[in-house]
Chains A and B, each alone.
Chain A
Amino acid sequence: MSAPHVIIGGGVNGLVCATLLARAGRAVTLVERRPEVGGAAVTRELTPGFFVPAGAHSVGPLRADVARDLRLGEHGLAFVTSDAWLTALDGQGRAVTLWHDVARAATSLGAHSAKDAAAWPAFMQARTKLGRVVASVFGHTPPSVDAPSTPELWRLFHTARAFRALGRADGYRLLRWGPMPVADLVAEHVETPVVQAALAADGVLGSLLGPWSAGSGLLFLLHAANDMAGNAAATWPRGGPGALATALRRAAEQAGVTILTGTGVAEILTGNAAKAVGVRLGDGRTLDAAMVVSGIDPKSTFAMCDPMALPAEFRWRAANYRTRGVLAKVNLALSGLPVVPGADREQLATRLRMAPDVDAMERAFDHAKYGRYSPTPWLEAVIPTLVDPTLAPAGAHVMSIYAQYAPLVLREGSWDTERQGLLRAVLDTLDRYMPGVRSLIVEAEVMTPADLEREWGMAGGHIHHGELALDQLFTMRPLLGWSQYRTPIDGVWLCSAGTHPGLGLTGGSGANAAREILRG
């Protein structure tokens, strides 16, 4: 029997890591504070008969090798597909759908700009090529910066070769895209304002960045890479994101993971030698553990450690790890399908991104810098009932909305008093794109970053467990020198989205961490 392992947090990465460790013969107990595992992958009954994605409204896409290794299909996970990748709405009756099929997308772009239609295939080809190169490092543990091992150098060499194989044009494109403002990046390829805004959204989703912030191009690139690393179709689980949680739980249980829910870890116990010896739970119980693997964000994890067990500089750096959430979530139960001028049913069955142009998104961002929420936020909505009618009564629908920007800390007032104001701002904005949607609302709920922090325990309410910025990625995620899932405390490991590669419910961080832990 192996020494006991404790996994803190039953989110997607925690479950993936736990399962892989258990399957390798480790004795694993997973501790989840909430009543159910799944983390941000939750389907919740908002009001009788209406099931909403309470947290994330889409997954990763789930990394293809994770889905395969964990045999999630056998555990009941199935995906629904949509031909539409994105639909851009400008609020003035214009709806442009970017289809997964490049030729079809070019045709819909052509209705607004012949130039965009002509440029689209090359842009998507570049996105795919660059995305593949970036994705090639997603499955690797980042190399040590101080003393890279031979296999690490070998992998770096392979990545360098893949990079150079891009050729000059795409190679330089990759170097330029990362540090660029996403607004400039998309404007180099597309001229239709509403489409620019919809594409630029990839560069700012979940981040304290506006489309004109330098470095937002990187997020655009990471989303491209994520689509390449995963099965792009594995985005919409049948039954909502909660179905992913259910399948992951079954896989974990079948592998022998003991799952404790309803009580969280309060403290990581370390002996005198900065070595993990167990955890103390919220209800006062303690569990012995030789290995403690944290599936929650790095900042919250280190807050559970004895500060004396962490070096001073490390504590300082960890405290400066940026986790300022800006995304609010609104869930709606609707008595019918909202009317969206210019869009048919097929166009609505995907992410609906609402902003007339990049400028409007930037203005929404401006408020967040001064501790205010945007009166006209940028919105991304999905109506999952269009592809999965089981989520609501016949003819009725549910809608899940990401709204930016809502800063974690308000400079005036508090979220307790401003929550309804935010909901009003979101619904007022939504009404411009979907006239009359208010009259369809059966039930509505809003979650601010403060709620996300409270309910899911994500530091700062940051959906990515920490800003996805150039200085917090790859060998620097979460901190330079600590990107190999280890921490300064012997036996304490990280496996959350706050480690490489992070970004969405992909299971990538959990799988990478499990591999490192098993290597010892």
Chain B
Amino acid sequence: MYISAIKEHGPAAPVGPLSPLYLGAMHYDAIVIGGGHNGLTCAAYLAKAGKKTLVLERRHVLGGAAVTEEIFPGFKFSVCSYVVSLLRPEIIRDLDLPSHGLELLPLDGTLTPMESGDYLWRVNDHSKTRREIARHSQKDADAYDHYGMAMVEMGRFAKPILSMTPPDPMSLDPRGLLELLSIGKRFRNMRHHDKVNQVQLLTMSAVDFLDQWFETDALKATMSASGIIGTFLGVRSPGTAYVLLHHYMGEIDGAFRSWGLSRGGTGAVSNAIAGAALRFGAEIRTETPVAKILTRAGRATGVVLENGDEILADVVVSSVDPRLTFERFMEPKELPDDFLEAVRRYKYRGSSGKVNLALDALPDFTCLPGRGEHLRGAISISPSVDYMERAYDQAKHGAFSSRPYIDMVIPTLTDSSLAPPGKHVMSCFVQYAPYHLKAGDVWDDARREAFGDAVIDAIAVHAPNIRTIIRHRQVLTPLDIERDYGLSEGNIFQGELSLEQLFFLRPVPGWAQYATPVHKLYMCGSATHPGGGIMGAPGQNAAARVLKDFRK
């Protein structure tokens, strides 16, 4: 088999001296580049279907951005992605993830400390939240019922779209058109006010959308925050309402919009998927960075590793982002010009950073002192819409927010295995930290620490004891995220979730169906529909596409 492979490559292929490993070149049905949760999901499905599958991961640890690492002795962190909400339930079932150690723990509630010294604390218990909101506004409490019902309807409409391969509106393929028509038909069959909500969600800004229902500033600010995560947009920018829904579709054990933690950190999700993939017979190699994707006559034939080894396969599936896949691992001449132009135009613009804290004690919030249930959920530094918007304004003009939006979680309150007894870890997702700084500024060590200080200062406004309880601090800027996790420009979703980069436009118009202009080369990362978050849907959808093509 390897002989024919050598013949196939011919003299033009970048073949090194025939190393023993090359001579023993294994041939796989599929190679998956990148061992993040999507790459692993894709590999698991391919292996499950009987394909001989190999996953290649650059780092020493699997998971990509869904990873648990012991950054400081005894303290384990979900370094990047820190909550689980969108993981598709059918993936959990199909891959039997609980048997591979997946255990999801509830993360109940969001506490928002307010500028007035009061707080807003929403929990999953609807009537409790309603009473809490009524403390601030009776009108909002009433609207909260309607809003909740409306969003459930919206989620119901949108959910089937997640697992759909986006149809190509410019193709003549009747099946794609029928699929588009079926979305249209489902839309037509919605009740009138649901239609309005749906259109508004797809087009409005999060704040404009919420303004229609609510008046409490901190409520709107906190809810709209989910609309900006991973985008370079402000809460008042049109198109951010959509992401409200993206996050509302979170689903654990079938219950809508419950968020969760994974026991052992988000890395445990990746490890469970990897366990499933291995059980189905996939092979996984860590510390095996890919250097090139091999092509011959417009067809992918395998990969070359950074150590020069070649590995051949019938198909290559890349779970890394388009910039790495097409600009780093391939030569421009291997790709059509217009495709390459669209790949270059695809927007990343990372806008968020992460601060991971090892704590000697729990933070004490002035608005709600002491230890309590309120610390077990998310704590959101989003006191007002203006606060959120000001944070964005600074980023727009090339600086990190001096008063950023922060979403904090203390997973040790739910999962004590992550820190030594009595100690805690706290995960702070921070926005905005722009990848592109204004001319003359760079993300050096000093700026990283200044950014970390700004985050601590912003927390200290509401929990003054924070400064005294920090044992260790890890600060990740978008540049760090790019370098360490291979996410271009530090975008946590492998490309902005903005309207012109969604559905049949993601990542490249006309190439939203997981295939690429290179025959037998596929994409399966968050840069494909339906996008980022620990969801697994891109990996699952891509595997379905690859398997369909295998059957042809």
Contacts and interface: CB of A to CB of B under 8 A. Distances in A.
A172 B338 CA distance: 12
A184 interface: yes
Contact of B212 (A212, A217, A320, A470): A320
Given A169-B338, A471-B203, A471-B204, A213 B237 contact: yes
Given A172-B505, A370-B389, 14 more contacts: A145-B195, A146-B188, A167-B170, A177-B500, A179-B239, A180-B500, A188-B345, A214-B233, A215-B237, A320-B211, A359-B397, A369-B236, A369-B389, A470-B238
A480 B212 contact: no
A242 B234 CA distance: 41
Contacts of B208: 322
A425 B24 CA distance: 76
B142 interface: no
Contact of A469 (B188, B204, B509): B204
A170 B347 CA distance: 19
Interface in B392-449: 393, 396-397
Interface of B: 169-170, 188, 192-193, 195-196, 199-200, 202-204, 208, 211-212, 233, 236-240, 338, 345, 347, 386, 389, 393, 396-397, 498-500, 504-505, 509-510
Contacts of B396: 212, 362
B386 A480 contact: no
A481 interface: yes
Contacts of A479: 196
A172 B233 contact: no
A256 B203 CA distance: 43
A345 interface: no
Contact of A214 (B212, B338, B498, B509): B498
Interface of A: 145-146, 164, 167-169, 171-172, 175-180, 184, 188, 209, 212-215, 217, 313, 316-317, 320, 322, 359, 362-363, 366, 369-370, 469-471, 476, 479-481
A171 B196 contact: no
B545 to A, nearest CB: 20
Given A145-B188, A214-B498, A359-B397, A175 B169 contact: yes
Contacts of A184: 347
Given A188-B345, A213-B237, A213-B238, A172 B389 contact: no
B238 A214 contact: yes
Contacts of A169: 338
Contacts of B170: 164, 167-168, 171-172
Contact of B500 (A145, A179, A362): A179
Given A176-B500, A370-B386, A215 B192 contact: no
Contacts of A369: 236, 386, 389, 393
21 contacts: A145-B195, A146-B188, A175-B505, A176-B505, A178-B499, A180-B499, A213-B236, A214-B233, A214-B239, A214-B498, A215-B239, A215-B499, A320-B212, A363-B397, A366-B393, A369-B236, A370-B386, A469-B204, A470-B203, A476-B199, A481-B196
A471 B498 contact: no
A469 B238 contact: yes
Contacts of B169: 171, 175
A202 B233 CA distance: 20
Nearest to A160: B169
Contacts of B509: 168, 172, 175-176
Contacts of A215: 203, 237-239, 499
Nearest to B499: A179
Contact of B498 (A146, A175, A179): A179
Contact of A471 (B193, B199, B397, B505): B199
B188 A471 contact: no
Contacts of B199: 471, 476, 480
Contacts of B345: 188
Contacts of A471: 199-200, 202-204
In the complex, the 10 A-B pairs of residues with the closest C-beta atoms, listed nearest first: A179-B499, A172-B509, A215-B238, A470-B203, A214-B239, A471-B203, A176-B500, A320-B212, A171-B170, A480-B196
A366 B170 CA distance: 38
Nearest to A324: B208
Contacts of A322: 208
Contacts of A179: 203, 238-239, 498-500
Contact of B499 (A172, A214, A363): A214
B201 to A, nearest CB: 9
Given A176-B509, A359-B397, A480 B195 contact: yes
A479 B505 CA distance: 27
Contacts of A171: 169-170
A399 B202 CA distance: 41
Contacts of B238: 179, 209, 213-215, 469-470
Nearest to B231: A214
A333 B389 CA distance: 39
A20 B396 CA distance: 49
Contacts of A316: 212
Contacts of A476: 199
A34 B204 CA distance: 35
Contacts of A214: 233, 237-240, 498-499
A171 B338 CA distance: 14
Contacts of A480: 192, 195-196, 199
Nearest to B385: A369
A317 B237 contact: no
Most B CB within 10 A of own CB, among A177, A215, A370: A215
B196 A317 contact: yes
A213 B500 CA distance: 13
Contacts of A313: 193
Nearest to A170: B170
Nearest to B341: A188
B510 A172 contact: yes
A184 to B, nearest CB: 7
Nearest to B168: A168
A213 B524 CA distance: 29
Contacts of B393: 366, 369
A209 B237 CA distance: 8
B476 to A, nearest CB: 25
Nearest to B238: A215
A168 B510 contact: yes
Contact of B203 (A145, A209, A370, A469): A469
Nearest to B233: A214
B126 to A, nearest CB: 22
A218 B202 CA distance: 14
A180 B188 CA distance: 26
B196 to A, nearest CB: 5
Nearest to A317: B196
A469 B205 CA distance: 10
Most A CB within 10 A of own CB, among B192, B202, B500: B500
Contacts of B203: 179, 215, 469-471
A209 B233 CA distance: 12
Contacts of B389: 369-370
Most A CB within 10 A of own CB, among B203, B240, B397, B510: B203
